[in-house]
Amino acid sequence: MDLGEGLRKAIARLQHATIIDAKTIKEFNKELQKSLLSADVGVELVYNLTKKIEEKALKSRPPAGVAPTDYITNIVYEELVALMGRSYEPKLKRQRILLMGLYGSGKTTTAAKLAKYYQDRGFSAALICCDVSRPAAFEQLETLAKQANVSFFGVKGEKDAARIAREGMDRFKDKQVVICDTSGRNALDDQLIGELKRVADGFKPDESIMVISADIGQIAGKQAKEFNNAVKMTGVIVTKLDGSGKGGGALSATNAANTAVMFIGTGEKLSNLEPYDSGKFIGGLLGVPDIAGLVSNVQKAVEEAQLKPEDVEMDELNFESFYSQLKAMGKMGPLKNIFGMMGVSDVPKEVAEQGEEKLNKYKVIIASMTKEERSNEKILHNPARIKRIAKGSGTTEKDVHQLISDFNKMRKMFDLMKNDRSFRKRFAKMTGA
């Protein structure tokens, strides 16, 4: 059970309690402690958190008109946000960024993600490869730079990282955001410290950021302290938050070490990097819908899929418009993340994976249809057409029939929503449309 699931179950029990008294709060805190400890949050941090929740819940009263369960849930939310640290607002200006970290942290991929982040916001970005110890580091960063559509510099075979940093700076005087990726080690040692200091002296970074993997849990705090003592840091980037149950431990530990979390990695794609927002992170764990994030992702997905405005118009749902929606959804990341933004966080993993597999299969099937078939579902009831589409898409006739069946169910739902004015008003209000 991951941290989010544990927190939601504990909150659900609290919400269903008929009486909120000291016994109820203590039982809730026990469940909360189990969830946080299983997510590798430090024992002392967990104890202090639950102690604060108990004191606030029992020594204060909810404002008039606010249910006790809602009041306590809000206390839990605020304390968890405080535990996980401050939110970060990226500096959108000309800057040099030095990245450092140990092996396995995802540092090189993060360098490309960060470059893409600033490039997408109108800044010319460039990457310098100063990782002179890991085999294939040069090729990896060069490939990622091409994928991110940013400039790249490195000297293959050169062992003087400080020299590469200086030459890279001369090369990229015209670039607004320059990111330097450095060597890693299995552990922080004198050799790595010396190399990082020499690179920093030549590169003169505005930001010195350590990249930490979420799967190391509370050890993240110890690593952050060690790096900060050796090479003064301005913050950390926590990666692999989408696939680690120890993410809460990593975030709380870095906060306890007085180290600011600046960005978090939420997936494998280069677009899966976002400024750290502790309120949004905790809201996601508690199953609170992130409507703004969902709408932003939809807009970004439409742009990346290079869809025309008419492609996403939904006045009428046919296979043509459905195909456009599937293409856009493919750019939004894993279904589990989309469900989380909608506040439906406890979709079983196997269901989400099966859903993604089915959607990918549907895209292939629709791509095998003629333009006439996409716009007029009725003509698909011809067995010969079904057979041809199945053969052309490499699927079975049963798969094609399943698509048609699911599509008709979706169309009925779509027609109901389209004609429901109150639903459209609520959605417009939520999205600010």
Lowest mean pLDDT across 13-22, 64-73, 420-429: 420-429
In this structure, are 71 and 161 located in the same domain? no
Q: Is 228 within the bounds of a domain?
A: yes
Phi, psi (rounded to 5 degrees) for 238:
-100, 120
Query: Bridge partners of 213?
Result: 239
At residue 327, does pLDDT exceed 80? no
Pairing of strands 261-265, 273-275: antiparallel
In this structure, are 77 and 118 located in the same domain? no
In this structure, are 105 and 75 located in the same domain? no
pLDDT at 414 (0 to 100): 60
How many angstroms separate the CA atoms of 57 and 189, rounded?
47
Q: Is 396 within the bounds of a domain?
A: yes
- pLDDT category at 298 given cuts 50, 70, 90 is very low
Inter-CA distances, 131 with 137, 185, 199, Å: 6, 10, 11
In 10 A of CB 60, how many CB atoms? 11
DSSP assignment of 363-390 equals: HHHHHTS-HHHHH-GGGGG-HHHHHHHH
How many angstroms separate the CA atoms of 333 and 337, rounded?
7
Whether 361 and 389 have beta carbons less than 8 Å apart is answered as no
In this structure, are 253 and 108 located in the same domain? yes
In this structure, are 59 and 112 located in the same domain? no
Name the domain count of the chain.
3
Q: In this structure, what token pair is assigned to residue 22?
A: 């000291």
**Which of these three, 65, 84, 103, is where a domain ends?**
84
DSSP assignment of 264-283 equals: EE-SSSTT-EEE--HHHHHH
Average pLDDT over residues 401-429: 63
In this structure, are 344 and 385 located in the same domain? yes
In this structure, are 151 and 273 located in the same domain? yes
- What pTM was estimated for this model as a whole? 0.68
CATH number of the structural domain spanning residue 403? 1.10.260.30
Q: How far is CA 404 from the centre of its chain?
A: 33
Q: What is the pLDDT of residues 213-230, one digit of tens each?
A: 999 999 999 999 988 888
- Residue 164's identity, in one-letter code, is I
For the chain, percent of residues with pLDDT exceeding 90? 42
pLDDT at 125 (0 to 100): 97
Q: Is 90 within the bounds of a domain?
A: no
Q: What is the pLDDT of residues 329-347, one digit of tens each?
A: 555 555 455 545 444 455 4
How many angstroms separate the CA atoms of 84 and 80, rounded?
6
Cα torsion angle, 184, 121, 241, 44, sign: positive
How many angstroms separate the CA atoms of 137 and 154, rounded?
10
Nearest by Cα to 167 from 197, 213, 203: 203
Q: What is the pLDDT of residues 43-84, one digit of tens each?
A: 999 999 999 999 988 888 777 777 787 788 888 888 998 999
Provide the residue range defining the domain that includes 227. 95-285
